[in-house]
Each structure stands twice: as C-alpha cells, then as structure tokens.
Structure 1
Amino acid sequence: MRHLSEKGLDQAIEEAQEADEARLVRRLCFIKNLYQGDTREQAGRRVGISRSTTRRWALAWNDGSVEGLCPRFGGGRPPKLTPQQWEELCEIFEEDQPWTPKQIHALIEDRYNVTYHPAHLSRKLREAGMNYAKPRPMDPRRPDDADEILADRLGQALGEGTHKEEVEDEPVVLGFFR
C-alpha cells in the first residue's frame, strides 16, 4: 500500500533521522525501496534483513503506515525490587557499615526474598553510587615517624641543599625507598 507519497516518505525518513530513530529509518528505507519498484526480497537485501522480516515489515506498513513500522519495546522484565525497596536497602547499607558481599546477598534474600547474581548486584550498587570497599587497618610495622622519614628521604633524593640552577637542569626522579 502507498500510505504516503514519495515526498511524504522522504519527509518521514528525515524526521526519523532527526529524532535519532535508526531502526525506524531502516524500516522506512525498506518501504522506499518497495516504492521504487524493488521486490520484497530485493528491498530486504538492500537494508540487510531476512525474507521473513520483509514480510513482517510489509504487513506492518500495510496495517499501520509509519506508526505500524515504529519499533515497539515492551519495557523488559520488571525489576525484582521496587524503587522504594531499593532506596530502603541503600539507606540500610549507608547506616550500618561495613558490609561484605555475602552479608548484602543474605540481607536482600532474607528481607525481600529476592536473589541477584553477584555481578548484577555490584552493577546495581554502582548505579546507585555505592562501591564495595575493603577497610584497611594501619600496618603495624609502620614506624611512628614515617612521614618525617619520607620527607627526609625525598629531600635527599631531590638534592636539597644544592644550588637551584643545578636542580632545574637535572630531571626530577621520585621513587620509594626502604
């Protein structure tokens, strides 16, 4: 069916391009190829689709014009936790820290009767602005005056006490010392 003139079809393609609807542009180009005399198979080959898809797109065009070709997305699977439950969970994590990954999984399962794959849960936590972190205690071998020792050694490495011109000519090298 010719729901639009060729000029109207070109305008629909332009509007879809401006709206950044690449999938709709491709479908409309398929229809344009049909308008120009291609068979369904030829038009499908030009836009890179299978024969079965050419049939579906042609039927969608015949039934609903441009609106019939608009890709529809059902929204995907609903989230396991509602936004309110997720917010409550994040507040719990912020209040009672630190949490181990096992404790987080156990809390979610006990409280909401829901399980998440560890990789997915870490993605969701990062999206919420949270990250796993390991608290590190101070090294018991660290001397009390470690900052002073570091400053002294850096001073020695940078050649404190030499003439300013000499220091500027030589490259600065920083490193760790034992």
Structure 2
Amino acid sequence: MINEAQKADEPSLVGRLYFVMNLYAGDVLEGAARRVGVSQANSSRWAHAWNDAGVDGLRPSFGGRPPPKLSDMQFAELCKILKEGQPWTPRAIHTLIEDRYGVTYDSAHLSRKLRESGMHYVIKPRPMDPRSPENADEILAERLAKALGEEYEKADEQEDDPVVLGFFR
C-alpha cells in the first residue's frame, strides 16, 4: 500500500500508512506518532480512521485552499483604485474593501497580496505632529526658562540662536 501511495504521489497518505505500520510493529500511539512527526491528537484520529475505513479512511479529505475572497477581476479593480487615489492608509484600504466588496482581510495577508501585485505601503512623514499645540515653540521656551533659570534668560537676550542641551518633561 505504501508503494502504491508513493507511485500515486500521495505523500500525506504515505505518512499515515507508515504510522499504521508502526502500530502493527508494536508501537503505542505516542511512539508511532513520534516516529512520523505528528501530534497525539492526529495519531488518535488516524487510528480511528484506519479502524473505521482502512486506507480510504486515511486519505486526506480536504479539497485544498479556500477560494479567494476577491476574484482576479475584483483585485485588479482594487489595485487600480488604490493607484489612482494615493496616498492610502492601511485602515482606509480595509474600509474600502469592506464597503465595496463586503469582505475583510487580515492585515498581514492583505499587505502580502498587495506586495505580490507590485504595491507597497509607504510611510508618508508628517511635517508636524497634529496633536501638538499651535504655540509649541512658546511653551518650549517657557519650560526651558523655568528649568534653566536666569542664565538661560540672559543668554536668550544676548543670542538669537541659543544652544539647547536636552529636553525636559
């Protein structure tokens, strides 16, 4: 049976048949599982499948990968939209996909799919932190004056560009 499974290019079935062979050779479930490199849960499931249906019970029954959430045409349309409306934040891309196509993607998977299609997230630097107050320079000058005392105020009057050695909280 193992030779037939190898000729038919069924590597999953070959491993499961070796597991059964190890059981018939005298191994307990844990030992047979360890020899083929599977978990205790899988070994128990395989033993039940063998007892219930023989070789056919050991054949994998999954049908492969699930179908993609977006068709090739939809994904091409998405890429076109993203190229035309740049720049996009990751959150905005997720919202677009959910609103337009009614599906959600894991962030890592979506970024991988976009990279494979030649697109990359780009970090766009902000000229200023939007949370900072408008009078941030004045606040900094006041805090430095308080922290450094009179010497700073005198130096500030004498020089246009004083040297600041550190930041204080």
Given the two structures, how large is their TM-score scaled by the length of structure 1?
0.50
Q: Map of 1:28-177 to 2, 5 A cutoff?
A: 28-36=17-25, 38=26, 40-41=28-29, 43-49=32-38, 53-75=42-64, 79-94=68-83, 96-101=84-89, 102-133=91-122
Matched-pair contact (CA < 8 Å) for 1:40–1:54: no
C-alpha distance in 2 between matches for 1:134 and 1:114: 25
Give the equivalent residue in structure 2 for 1:15: 7
How far does residue 121 in structure 1 lie from its aligned partner after superposition?
2.1
Question: Structure 1 residues 99 and 105 mapped into 2: Cα distance closer, same or farther (>3 Å)?
Answer: farther
In percent, how many aligned pairs have the same letter? Answer: 50
How far does residue 70 in structure 1 lie from its aligned partner after superposition?
1.9
Question: What 5-or-longer segments of structure 1 have no aligned partner?
Answer: 1-8, 137-178
Matched-pair contact (CA < 8 Å) for 1:40–1:55: no
Cα displacement string for residues 147-173 of structure 1 (whole angstroms, at most 9, x for unaligned residues): xxxxxxxxxxxxxxxxxxxxxxxxxxx
Question: What 5-or-longer segments of structure 2 have no aligned partner?
Answer: 126-169
C-alpha distance in 1 between matches for 2:105 and 2:64: 20
RMSD: 3.5
C-alpha distance in 2 between matches for 1:130 and 1:54: 43
C-alpha distance in 2 between matches for 1:79 and 1:14: 31
Q: 1:27 aligns with which of 11, 16, 40?
A: 16
Kindly provide the amino acid, as one letter, of the partner of residue 107 in structure 1. L
How far does residue 45 in structure 1 lie from its aligned partner after superposition?
5.0
C-alpha distance in 2 between matches for 1:118 and 1:66: 40
Kindly provide the amino acid, as one letter, of the partner of residue 73 in structure 1. F
Given the two structures, how large is their TM-score scaled by the length of structure 2?
0.52
